[in-house]
Copies of this chain bind each other. A is one copy, B any other.
Amino acid sequence: MKGSETALSTAEQRPEKKGKKMKGNLIIGQSGGPTAVINSSLAGVIKASWKAGIRRIYGMHYGIEGFLNEDIVDIEDYITSGQDLSLLKRTPSSFLGTCRYKLPPIEGNEKLYEKIFDILDKRNIEFFLYNGGNDSMDTIKQLADYAVTHQKKQKFMGIPKTIDNDLPMTDHCPGYGSAAKYIATSMKEIIRDNESYGVSKPTICIVEIMGRHAGWLTAAAALSKDIDCSGPDLIYLPEVTFDINDFIERVKNLAKTKKSVVIAVSEGLKTEDGKFVCELGTVNDHVDAFGHKQLAGTAAYLASLVTQQTGLKSRYIEFSSLQRCAAHLASRSDSDEAYNVGYFAAKAAFEGNTGKMVTIQVDSREPYVETYDMFDIHEVANVERKVPLDWIINDGTYVSDEYLKYARPFIIGRVAPYTAGGLPIHLTMTKKRNHK
Pair A325/B190 contact, Cβ less than 8 Å: yes
Pair A228/B279 contact, Cβ less than 8 Å: no
Within 8 A of B (CB), among A416-434: 419-428, 430
Pair B92/A228 contact, Cβ less than 8 Å: no
Q: From A327, which residue of chain B is reached at the shortest CB distance?
A: B189
This protein's copies in its complex? 2
How far does the Cβ of A269 sit from chain B's closest Cβ, in whole Å?
A: 12
Given the contacts A193-B325, A282-B295, A228 and B97 also touching, CB distance less than 8 Å: no
Q: Does A413 contact B (CB under 8 A)?
A: yes
Pair B414/A422 contact, Cβ less than 8 Å: yes
Q: From A38, which residue of chain B is reached at the shortest CB distance?
A: B196
Q: Does A294 contact B (CB under 8 A)?
A: yes
How far does the Cβ of A290 sit from chain B's closest Cβ, in whole Å?
A: 7
* Most chain B CB within a 10 A radius of its CB, from A69, A181, A325: A325
Residues of B within 8 A of A190 (CB): 321-322, 325
Residues of B within 8 A of A189 (CB): 92-93, 322, 325-328, 424
Which stretch, A51-59, A197-205, A335-343, A351-359, touches the partner chain B?
Answer: A197-205
Q: Within the complex, which residue of B61, B227, B278, B414 is in contact with A198, where a contact is CB–CB below 8 Å?
A: B61
Q: Does A34 contact B (CB under 8 A)?
A: yes
How far does the Cβ of A360 sit from chain B's closest Cβ, in whole Å?
A: 17
Pair B228/A425 contact, Cβ less than 8 Å: yes
Q: Does A386 contact B (CB under 8 A)?
A: no
* Most chain B CB within a 10 A radius of its CB, from A276, A295, A331, A333: A295
Q: Does A8 contact B (CB under 8 A)?
A: no
- Bound-state CA distance A196–B100 (Å) is 11
Count A interface residues, CB 8 Å: 84
Q: Does A186 contact B (CB under 8 A)?
A: yes
How far does the Cβ of A273 sit from chain B's closest Cβ, in whole Å?
A: 14
Q: Does A224 contact B (CB under 8 A)?
A: yes
Pair B411/A422 contact, Cβ less than 8 Å: yes
Pair B325/A199 contact, Cβ less than 8 Å: no
Within 8 A of B (CB), among A300-329: 300, 315, 317-318, 320-322, 324-329
Q: Does A385 contact B (CB under 8 A)?
A: no
Q: Does A142 contact B (CB under 8 A)?
A: no
Q: From A177, which residue of chain B is reached at the shortest CB distance?
A: B422
Given the contacts A99-B197, A196-B97, A199-B65, A281 and B293 also touching, CB distance less than 8 Å: yes
13 CB-based A-B contacts, threshold 8 Å:
A61-B198, A62-B199, A66-B199, A92-B192, A99-B197, A184-B423, A185-B424, A186-B322, A189-B424, A190-B325, A282-B293, A328-B329, A411-B423
Seen from chain A, the residues whose Cβ lies within 8 Å of a Cβ on chain B are 34, 61-62, 65-66, 69, 71, 91-94, 97-101, 181, 184-186, 188-190, 192-200, 212, 223-224, 226-229, 267, 276, 278-279, 281-282, 290-297, 300, 315, 317-318, 320-322, 324-329, 331, 333, 408, 411-414, 419-428, 430
